[in-house]
Amino acid sequence: MNTVKTVRELRAAVAAARAEGKHISLVPTMGNLHAGHAALVEKAAQRSDFVVASIFVNPLQFGANEDLDKYPRTLVDDQQKLVKAGCNLLFTPSVEEMYPNGMNGQTRVSVLGVSEGLCGASRPGHFDGVATVVSKLFNIVQPDLAIFGQKDYQQLAVIRTLVNDLNMPIQIIGEPTVRSADGLALSSRNGYLTDEQRSAASVLYKSLQEIAAGLKAGEHDRAQLIARAQSQHAAAGFSPDYLEIRDASSLRPATEQDRQLVILVAAFIGNTRLIDNLLVDLDKPA
């Protein structure tokens, strides 16, 4: 695996691969990689001939009081994991390389609709930062396909809308969330948890499963399902951000007529904000 730091080096390496007729894939990350990231790279290696991964902790998507400065940087360990997963080229740009004219004057990309509410409400400007950096990476690499995890479900919806609205010739693939044995979604932020918090955190996914079971059983009082789950979260030490049932495609609030749903949650335990989601197909037998 070759590691490059500049746009020029990256474009040269991708151009050489494409000249050989290779199918190009991209897996954007912020580093501090875990098994969930490795699964994305492995899928990319199955679906393409040349896998490009990026590691860039993007300041545009962090708010003023978020964890940009303490976000873990683990490049050597990340490189080893990427090699094992089948990555061919790693792009590790500096902030100056990605935003040479500074961030204040940087052209921003906004994706309306699916970026609103949920994490979009809790983290103002976050999805503009995501859409902007992903647009830049797509333009730099020009991949045939790009792979993202479904744990960040709203982010995936934003990127799919971005690609569709701007007619980008890129196939977007969403890969299922990779989980620990107790169901907790793998996340770089899990490393912030104490042992006690880590043990309690499994309640998030368990509560999503219980809501899904209630929906499939025909429960019409969805507010009660939500309230019961939030009580479980509070008992485990979580402070709520949001817990909602949405239409899986549009991300608008779900109605009784919608059959493809997604349950989305964000909550704080200590100072750590965790997110998760669960897809529910009401037309599929329980």
Q: Which are the catalytic amino acids? A: 37
Contact call for residues 216 and 282 (beta carbons, < 8 A): yes
Half-sphere exposure of 158 (CA within 13 A, CB side): 26
Dihedral sign (CA 104, 106, 111, 114):
negative
Which residues does 190 contact at the CB level (< 8 Å), separation at least 6? 184, 198, 201, 274
DSSP per position, 238-261: EEEEEEEEEETTT-SBP-TT--EE
Q: Which residues contact 123 (CB under 8 A, 6 or more apart)?
A: 63, 66
Kind plus residue range of the DSSP H or E element containing 145: strand 145-149
The amino acid occupying position 184 is L
Euclidean distance between CA atoms 16 and 10, whole angstroms: 10
Which residues are CB-contacts of 13 (< 8 A; sequence separation ≥ 6)? 2, 4, 89
**Please, what is the Cα angle at 160 between 175 and 187, to 5 degrees?**
40
Half-sphere exposure in the Cβ direction for 249 (13 Å, CA): 5
